[in-house]
Amino acid sequence: MEITQLTAVQIADAVRAGTLTATAVVDAHLARIAQVNPDVNAVTVVLADRARAAAAELDTRIAAGEDPGPLAGVPISVKENIDLTWSATTSGLPFFADLVPRSNATFVQRVLDAGAIPVARGNMPDVGLRWDTDNDLFGRTLNPWDRERVPGGSSGGDAVAVATGMVAAGLGNDYGGSLRLPAHAAGIVALRPSAGRVTAPSREADGGPVSLSLQAFAVNGPLARSVDDLDALFAVLHGADDRDPLSVTVPHPSSYAGPRRAAVTVDPVGWGVEPQVADAVRRAADALVAAGWDVEEVEPPQVDRAATLWRQLSATEMAPALLTPGAFPGPLSDGTVRYFRDNVAGVELLDTSAAYQAAWAERFAIAAAWRAFQSRYPVVLGPVVTERMPLIGYDLSGPEAVTAQWRSHRLLVTANFLGLPAVAVPTGVTDGAPQGVQVIAALHQDHVALAAARAIEAAGTPLTPVDVR
């Protein structure tokens, strides 16, 4: 097996055992980037010199008998909106092209200390706003399975880099499905951790204000090619951070021995689901049954309200900054502006104090209903999205399209709205495109979501690394 086909855990084990050097691992992945990236444009910056130097240093430490860390030699990508001092944190914006951070994000430093080696930056839509990956600074990332369809977003570059073997794992973030959606499109796995388990985007700014929706909905997390990789990465990433007042340290068990019951929702809220998506959910349910889980087809509470309030709150908070002339520090791409204007046109903004407060109050009631529901069903299994990944440009074709896309993502954004952990995991390929599901666990029960995802994964075969089509 080629080095670039190995999982992160396999690479770390081999480097620690001395059967592979970190230098050989990094060189193989840099060669893969040179071969593949021109066809997909997933990687924005190649960190070749720094990566080779870090690999050589790691090899020297191993030769001296030092412990290289649990992620020894694992080549990773880091999304363009995550602070890594090796390059600018651009968020896909031309006017941030020289914004090199003074320090690494805490969770980035944790993976570096664990032996991982950044080899590239991953592309994203500017500001991370769209469910697609395109911007004026780096251009469009292409879906390696189907060049006519979007790769998802906003962590689309990292997902494609992982899926094509350019890196073994990626670091991204998830405010409205931005880890799970591109992972689903790429045929890989991703973990959206519980709120507070991994420092969220923008919380490490120097005392600047952070919107309530960003505090509640957003979190950083890993993308990889196996659930074991997600588990190994999360074990390093999670934990409280002195710079993030909402971060927490909660033990992360290595296994799950609790009740194995799952609620299955094939068509959340009954808004419609395409046949191949329904089939994927039912295949995943069968995999859980075969692994000893009790499965019942039952609707989780108030997904319609959770998804609606997620959209209203996010649009209400973003509108002043994105639509008021001069409010943002520079121009956004035409696509981002058009998408957001169409989004606002299709949603009732919470433009009074009473309406805004009532939305947050209702969130508490919905969270309580989910807490009670998940005391009976520790896992909720359902679709990532209820339709096939759209053609490029669909999300810019008018307010009706933006609303239809949000409806398809209703269970995806429900996890964000409630701050719950969720894992996207593939189930197979239908008509040349990956299909998959997500499993959502209760707050701080990330290990439960990983356990269910591992059972689903075991019933199938890996879909990646994939060759570019």
Hey, what are 40's tokens? 């997909």
The 422-430 sheet, strands edge to edge: 43-46, 117-122, 75-79, 169-174, 219-224, 189-192, 422-430, 433-441, 379-383, 261-264, 294-297
* Other C-beta atoms lying within 10 Å of the C-beta of residue 283: 17
Q: State the angle between helix axes of 227-237 and 8-17 in degrees (0 to 180), rounded to the nearest 10.
A: 70
Cite the active site residues.
79, 154, 178
DSSP for residue 424: E
> What is the CA angle 441-442-443, rounded to 5?
120
360/364 Cα distance (integer angstroms):
7
DSSP for residue 80: T
Q: How far is CA 158 from CA 42, 121, 141, 316, in A?
A: 7, 8, 10, 28
293/290 Cα distance (integer angstroms):
7
391/337 Cα distance (integer angstroms):
19
